[in-house]
Structure 1
């Protein structure tokens, strides 16, 4: 496994990661992001990657509508294709996304559209060396749990999962069971702490200062043969600035203990 971090898509991020001994970056070009600006920065990103040896392990897009009552949203499909092209250019092996749920349609119809969307991405990305994964975050996405995985991933053996234990914890699910049963489909993993008090989300502190059983989780990853990236996700409203920098370093030192 390799350790990296989610960062801004700019050359400086590669040098900062290199200074921390990290091996890769992850870029999230989410809803509201300027895709054209990101694409225009690719030559500089590629140069910084070559200079530092820090790779790009995942490019993802969260929050957008990919299906509607009429079917696949063509504009968003083309945006995904452009990001897959960028992933290929940066030698990034993963493109991550989800699929929104249309309340006016049945679960079957939603799942059918999701399968169609993911199939198009797989057919486009596979020849370019880019694998597709569904994120397990619920942000405008219903392909985040075992029911959806059983149907959609069951139908698409090439489709992977981007897994984050915190999302399962906050949704009241068993992240260790999900990891055991679906770890063979994990393509990318987020490292983010989570604290639940009185049934409510409290904060996302650095991993190792939270309630996640990281040791057991890592043992399951080894047990299922996972060899991909562990991507640190700074996500707290408390751990910012100097404290945030110390939190990132704490997580780096903490997670390194589980990596052999």
Structure 2
């Protein structure tokens, strides 16, 4: 397993990750973000990755609508997925992460069918580029976040993986230990984000290892599944900013290096 860091799309993050002793960076290319500059600078990102020895471990897109109200695929959004997969291929990035919105006007069956059609097209394109595809379990405009949806969609698409973050499960009142047990064999990528939930509500997302998540048990389940993918640190708290940011990241690195026997 490799440790890395989810960071903004900037060239200097490769040097930052190298100085922290991390192996990769991850980029989010979310809805309402202008991606023109990113696409235009792919070769610069590639050179900086090669210079520092820090790879791009994952590129993801959160929050966007993929399905129209009539159940058809939004072709413009599908094209953005293709462009991001192309970027991943050029950067030597092995994974593209995406989700799928739920259309209230449609039945669960029709939503699942539409999601399968979208993921099938993305999987086919990713296969042609040597890039694997995973769904995110974040609830931001995505219903493919739990056992019920995974059985419907991933059960039908054996090559579709899961990008898993225990914090999303905890904050939704789900059982992340059971989900890891039952679906860890389909995890392609894991986020390390701390979470504190009080009276059923999210309180804060402190550095992973300083929170309520049972990380040793979670990691033991990953070992049981022979997980060999990436562990991506995701600083997410408004509290842990400025001078606390690096302290929190370094704490998480030290904490997980012990769980990785380093």
Q: TM-score, normalised by structure 2?
A: 0.98
CA deviation map 1:128-185 (0-9, x unaligned) = 1100000000000000111000000000000000000000000101101000100010
What is the distance in 2 between the residues matched to 1:106 and 1:41? 42
Structure 1 portions without partners, runs of 5+ = none
- Asked if the contact 1:10/1:41 (under 8 Å) is kept, the reply is no
Partner of 2:260: 259
Question: What is residue 242 of structure 1 aligned with on the other side?
Answer: 243
**What is the CA distance between 1:127 and its match in structure 2?**
2.2
> Which shifted more, 116-125 or 31-40?
31-40
| Matching residue of 1:46 | 46
Alpha-carbon displacement from aligned partner over 1:11-42 (angstroms, at most 9, x marks no partner): 20000000000000000000111121110121
Conserved? CA contact 1:9–1:45, under 8 Å: no
Deviation at 1:204, TM superposition (A): 0.1
Q: Paired residue for 1:138?
A: 139
1:14 equivalenced with 2:23 (yes/no): no
Alignment gaps of 5+ in structure 2? none
Kindly state the Cα deviation for residue 69 of structure 1 after the two structures are TM-superposed.
2.1
Residues 170 and 201 of structure 1 are in contact (CA less than 8 Å); yes or no, is this contact kept in structure 2? Answer: yes
Q: Distance in 1 between matches of 2:195 and 2:31?
A: 24
CA distance in structure 2 between the aligned counterparts of 1:113 and 1:151, rounded to whole angstroms? 12
8 A Cα contact 1:56 1:92, kept in partner? yes
Q: Counterpart in 2 of 1:113? A: 114
- Alignment-derived partner of residue 59 in structure 1: 59
Q: Which moved more, 1:192-201 or 1:159-168?
A: 192-201
The CA deviation string for residues 31-71 of structure 1, in whole angstroms up to 9 with x for no partner, is 11112111012111100000010000100000000001231
How many positions carry a matched residue from both structures? 260
DSSP 3-state at the match of 1:57: strand
Residue 102 of structure 1 is matched in structure 2 by: 103
Aligned partners of 1:96 and 1:135 also within 8 Å: yes
Q: Assess if the C-alpha contact under 8 Å between 2:173 and 2:200 holds in 1.
A: no
Q: Which residue of 1 aligns with 2:197?
A: 196
Shift of 1:198: 1.7
Describe the SS at the equivalent of 1:138. Answer: coil
Asked if 2 retains the 8 angstrom alpha-carbon contact of 1:184 and 1:224, the reply is yes
Q: In 2, Cα distance between the equivalents of 1:257 and 1:3?
A: 12
Corresponding residue for residue 125 of structure 1: 126
**Alignment RMSD:** 0.7
The SS at the match of 2:18 is helix
